Structures are given as structure tokens and as C-alpha cells.
Chains A and B, each alone.
Chain A
Amino acid sequence: MVLFALYFVAVFIGLGIGLLYLLKEGFPDQDPFVVANNYLFYWIIADLLMRFFLQKLPVMSVKPLLTLPIKRATVVNYVLGKSALSFFNFLPLFAIIPFSFMLVSDGYETSLVLTWMFTMMISVLIINFLNFIIEAFSAESEISFLPIIVIIGVLFGLNYFEILPMTSLIGSGFLAIAHHPILILIPIIILGLCYGFNFKILKKKLYLDSSLKSKVTEVNASDLSWTERFGDIAPFMKLDLKLIWRNKRTKSMVFLLFIGVLYGLFFYPQPVYREMTFMFALIGIFSTGFFLINFGQFIPAWDSGYYKLLMSQNIKYEQYLRSKFILMVISVVILFVLGIPYVYFGYKILIAHFAAAIYNIGVNTHVILWGGSYNRKKINLDKKAAFNYQGTGAVQWLIGIPLMIVPMGLFGLVNWLVGFAAAIALLMVLGVAGIVFHKKLMKFITKKYINSKYKMIDAFSQDN
């Protein structure tokens, strides 16, 4: 998830810096600042939609405060204030601030840009609190995502059929504020109203039997008997699949599979990247190994909640690890197969992806399992999924080097010195070697885990 968050930060910074240039390129005869403002409507809609599905008000954290001599109003303010510090509110800043800098350096008036920047920041907060209002109403309706779909749909429809031109309305609104700073009072008042409304709703609900009640979910049992063919590791595979499917934090893994598949589409449609053969290996490793990296980096911390149980049970460590290994191998194969259509962009890409998949199966699976033996951070599976850094330590950063940089470097070097075929062959040979020595490698890795058993048990029983 860290990689994921960083990726977004990087994209937003890139967007902030590059946007002005892109707008000038795309709309040469219009004022880029005006064009940017006209697109704000889409940003607001997208942001609302994303927040609705990913961001929740941090109400549960106040349970211990209720019995303390603190006024209810203070508690409510604390919850709402805390929500303002969410990652979702900081992310847009990574684009807004660089873009503002670019505007100023391009000759726009500083006061104009500053006013605009502050208006944007206030808008981010308005969206933040607006989302919680929508969520509060959704909680009461039968189909929980109906309100958001209706609101977004109506706004979009009004705009699309030009009944109410939302894009230019919002665009000219922002422009007006930028030109007449006194008008910034309007968004501030809107923000105040949204906050006040949230305050009212929340104050009514801050009781153990309403919003603070933890949700009890019905079990979704699925037939996992197909895992039996894996023999002695079947119990662990079943456990791992349930782990992934039944916990918030891990459920997002499934979506990562899709992102992994689509990852190449960020690059390959652009001819610039298609020239850079050495990039194929990196994209291939990343695309076929997306699940491997995101799931693997937190082995065995996924099981930290019941690690003592596993350690006192009659299990073979090697089976436990092999189940994770097989799971990762399966994900690599699936991602590779789903990525076959990339052949459309050139057969070399397919070959590179194939070699990368072999490398992932033979080398990276073992590397990431080995790295896992250094994991000392607990993971709480019930915590929200998006942009959760819990369980992240130095290991997660260091492991990226052998995982991605090394194969890319090797591939690039051999590709440059000898040629494409040799570079592909190198990755495949390394991968096949890893598969051949699988048993030996697993023995070594298992030993690592056994050696750090006490340290892991100790670390996983600490609440960090």
C-alpha cells in the first residue's frame, strides 16, 4: 500500500508541475488558468466519488473518550478535526501547490494565484465534509451507494445536457474569487455550514448503540474444496484465501490484481516508452508481480493477530510458507495470462513479460519470503484499507531493491551490451534457477523464520 500511496503522490506532483505545459499544448489559444478552472467540476465529482468508497469518518477511535469528563461537543470537534488530516486532503495539495508555483513563475499575479490556491484548499475541506454528510444519509438508505450515484448522476447530467453548465459555472466561480479575494468568504461560509451540519448529525449519533456500534457482518462462505489438490498445504491456502477475502485491509489486494493488469496501459500506448526496451522488464516485473509485491511484503505480518496460535500448533513452518508461495505463483500466472493482449503493442513486450513472470516466480517469490523473516511490525486486519501504513518498516523499502531494481538493471545492462535476446535469456535463466533450487531456498528461508521466531512473537504481541 505504501508503494501505492507514494505512486499517487508522485503522479500528483507530476501533474502539478506538468499541467500548465499540457494545457498550453492542448489549448494553445486559450488562457490555461481558465481552462484548468473549467475542469475543476470533474475533479470535484471524481474526488467525491473516490472518498465515498474509501474514506470513513474516524468515529470508532473516540469510544474511550466518551466516559471521560470531556464535553460531547469537544469529542465531535475532535473527530471532525481529525478527519481534516486525512491523506485524501493532503493528496490534492501535491498537485495544487506545484501548479500554483508554475502559474506564478509563468507571470500570473501572485495575489491572484495565492487566493486561488487558498480557495482550492478550502474546497478540498468542503469536499471532505460534504462526503461525510452524503455518507450519513447513505447509512440510512436501503441501497447504501444510491445517494452518491444520484447526486453525481444529476450533476453530471445537468452539465452534459447543458441544462445547467456546471463546468463553466464552477470554473467562473473560482475565477471570480481569484480576481476578487473578498469573495473567498463564500466558500468559507459553505465550509462552515458543512462543518456545522456534520457536527449536528454526529452529536446525535455518538452513542454506543448507534454509530459507535461495531458492524457485525454475515459470513460469506465460499467453496474452497479445490484447494485440496495442493495436499498438505490446503488448510493454509484456505486460510490465506479467507484472510484476503474477509478483511478490509487485504480485500484491496483483489483490486490490485486489476491495477497490475492495466499497469502497462500507462506506458505502452505512448510511442516514447515503446522505444525504451529496458523498461519492458520493469513493467513486466511490476505488472505480473503486483500482487506478489503487495501481498508478499507483509508476510508473515498478515497472521500477526494469531501468530502465537500458529507457533504453538502442530504445524510445519515450511508448509505455512509454501502456501504463501503457491498463492503468489498463481497470482503471477494469472496476471501474465491477463496481460497477454499487450502483444498488440509488439511481440517483444509479450516476451519480456514472460521472462519477467518467470523471474517473479523463480526469484522474487523467494526474495520476498526471505525479506518477510525480518518483519517485526504487527498488522491489524480490521483497520481501513486505503493508505494504511501500519506494518510498514525499513524492510518494505529495502526489499524493493532486489525485487525491482536488480532485475531491471541486469536486463538493461545486458540489453545494452549484448542485445534483447540475451537480456531475456538472462532473466529466464535466473528464474528457472530459482525454480530448480526451490526446495533448497525454502529450507534456507524456513530456517530464517525459525531463528527469528521469538522476536516475531514478541513484536506481534506489541500494539504499535
Chain B
Amino acid sequence: MIYTKNLTKTYNGTTVLNIEELSIPKGQSFGLVGNNGAGKTTYFSLLLDLIKPTTGNITSNNVVVDESEDWKPFTSSFIDESFLIGYLTPEEYFYFIGELRGQNKADIDNLTAKFEDFFNGEIIGKKKYLRDLSKGNQKKAGIVAALIGHPEVIILDEPFANLDPTTQIRLKQIIKDLAQKQGVTVLVSSHDLTHVTDVCERIVVLEKGNVVKDLETNPETLKELEAHFSGGTIFSDEEE
């Protein structure tokens, strides 16, 4: 589904991302972890053609993303608050995204009704502008907007940050359902190792722009990741 080849991004001589080859099959829930500056958001921005690759490219469903715009109809994303339109209410925002993605009002109403639990009564019918919502509620609206119009690829940058515990648990269920039941390719990045291991079938660790680990999730994965990020010494010492 998504194939990355020889991808690098360089700013003023500093390479911030360097991926030789990475292939993500359809319907996989894919997790990207790494410290600040590891290149997670850079990779997602390249995937959405928001920045131009220095070399190489990404192919999504046989479309080279920086050459054609044909990936847009089946791709959706929520990266940060700049994906929200502050002066709209959540409903208006959903309708607007819906119109761009060929959905009518009834479709949107159906969709948002399904997320009543997730919204916890704080989003719909509140007569508030998105810019006046709390960070967590803004995130909820942004994530649900990314599900509009049956996308085949969904990209969520740090979806768990700012959410309350209940919503985090609900979001995990939503992401799992998307990948397992609907065959959607979900790309998630996070700083929270527990959440990613819970949700993703596969986890890639980025460090200074390079892929340093590529793991199939199994019961040991969380330990392995924790060991990696704590410097690789503490846990291995204990085990020996």
C-alpha cells in the first residue's frame, strides 16, 4: 500500500530523515515511535506532500505522492491543530470536510452518531467554535474528521496526547477496528510506548531520521522498546 524508497530530507546540510526502504501493507496498523526530532512528523509531512523530499519518494497505492494528487481522495490525516478551522463549530467542520470528500450531511450525521461515546457529549451541539474548545476536545474533533469519507489510509500524529484516559481507551478500540475490520491502513505516531504496542501490529523506531528497529508486535515488544529507550542497559542487566 505505502512504499518508501531512498527517502531523505535535508535542511541546510542536516539530514533529518533517511529511510532506505519501508513498505507498509494494506490494512496494517503501523506505529512510529522515537524521541523528539527523530523524524516522525517529517515522515508524515512527506507522506502528505506538505514538504518536498530531498531524494527518493513515497508511493501510496501506486501513486507517487509528490508527483500526482491522486492519493488525496483515499488519504486523510490529523497532524496538529493547524488541521482545524478555528472559526467553525465541530459540526460545520465535519460538514465542510464531508463536502470536500463527497459526503452529504446525512452521511456525516451517521458517522458522528457512531462516535457519541468518544465525544462524551462535549463536541456536538455545544454551539462553540473549535478555537474555544480545550486541547483534548479539539483533538477528538480532528481525529473524527480524519475518518470522514471512508479513507483507505489514515495518518494520526500523536493521537493520544492531551486525551483523557477514558478517551484514550476508546480511541485504541477505534483504531483497532479500522485496521482489523475495515482494512484501513492506519499510521500512528506516539511517545507513549504502551499505547502504540496496544494498538499497532507493527512498530518502527526512528532515531535521528534512521529506522533502527522494525518489530512485529508481540507480548515482549513493550519490554524491548522500553529497553531500547532507556539506553538498552537496565533491562538486559536484570535479565542476565
Contacts and interface: CB of A to CB of B under 8 A. Distances in A.
Interface string A201-214: 00000000000001
| Chain B interface residue number, banded | 20 to 34
B48 A312 contact: yes
Contacts of B83: 306, 308-309, 312
Contacts of A221: 89, 92
Interface in B56-110: 72-73, 75-77, 79, 82-89, 92, 96-97, 99-102
B5 interface: no
B154 to A, nearest CB: 12
Contact of A381 (B48, B76, B87): B87
A235 B87 contact: no
Contacts of A311: 48-50
Given A235-B99, A239-B96, A243-B87, A312 B50 contact: yes
Contacts of B86: 305-306, 381-382
A219 B84 contact: no
Most B CB contacts (10 A, CB to CB) among A218, A312, A457 go to A312
A137 interface: no
Contacts of B97: 313
Nearest to A314: B72
A305 B100 CA distance: 18
A461 B127 contact: no
Nearest to A319: B100
B52 interface: yes
A216 interface: yes
Contact of B82 (A234, A235, A382, A461): A461
B51 interface: yes
A258 to B, nearest CB: 23
Contact of A217 (B77, B79, B99, B132): B132
Contacts of A109: none
Nearest to B149: A314
Nearest to A246: B87
A306 B50 contact: no
B128 interface: yes
B82 A216 contact: no
Most B CB contacts (10 A, CB to CB) among A214, A235, A307 go to A235
A446 to B, nearest CB: 12
A433 B140 CA distance: 49
A457 B66 CA distance: 14
B128 A216 contact: yes
Nearest to A312: B48
Nearest to A454: B52
B131 interface: yes
B3 interface: no
Contact of A235 (B49, B79, B100, B127): B100
Nearest to A245: B87
A461 B50 CA distance: 11
B74 to A, nearest CB: 9
Secondary structure class of chain A's binding surface, majority of residues: helix
A276 interface: no
A457 B80 CA distance: 14
Contacts of B73: 314
B217 to A, nearest CB: 28
A313 B132 contact: no
Interface string A154-189: 000000000000000000000000000000000000
Contact of A457 (B50, B75, B92, B132): B50
Interface in B198-217: none
B129 interface: yes
A246 B89 CA distance: 11
Given A239-B96, A313-B100, A314-B73, A247 B87 contact: yes
A142 to B, nearest CB: 21
A358 to B, nearest CB: 33
B130 to A, nearest CB: 10
Contacts of A348: none
B100 A382 contact: no
Nearest to B84: A306
Contacts of A315: 72, 100
Contact of A306 (B72, B85, B89, B92): B85
A318 to B, nearest CB: 12
Interface in A233-272: 234-235, 238-239, 242-243, 246-247
Contacts of B128: 216, 219
Contacts of A312: 48-50, 72, 75-77, 83
25 contacts: A216-B128, A217-B129, A217-B132, A219-B129, A235-B96, A235-B99, A242-B88, A242-B92, A243-B87, A246-B87, A306-B83, A308-B48, A308-B50, A311-B48, A312-B48, A312-B49, A312-B72, A312-B77, A312-B83, A314-B102, A314-B149, A315-B100, A454-B51, A457-B50, A461-B82
9 closest cross-chain pairs (CB), A and B: A235-B99, A246-B87, A309-B83, A312-B48, A314-B72, A216-B132, A219-B127, A306-B85, A314-B73
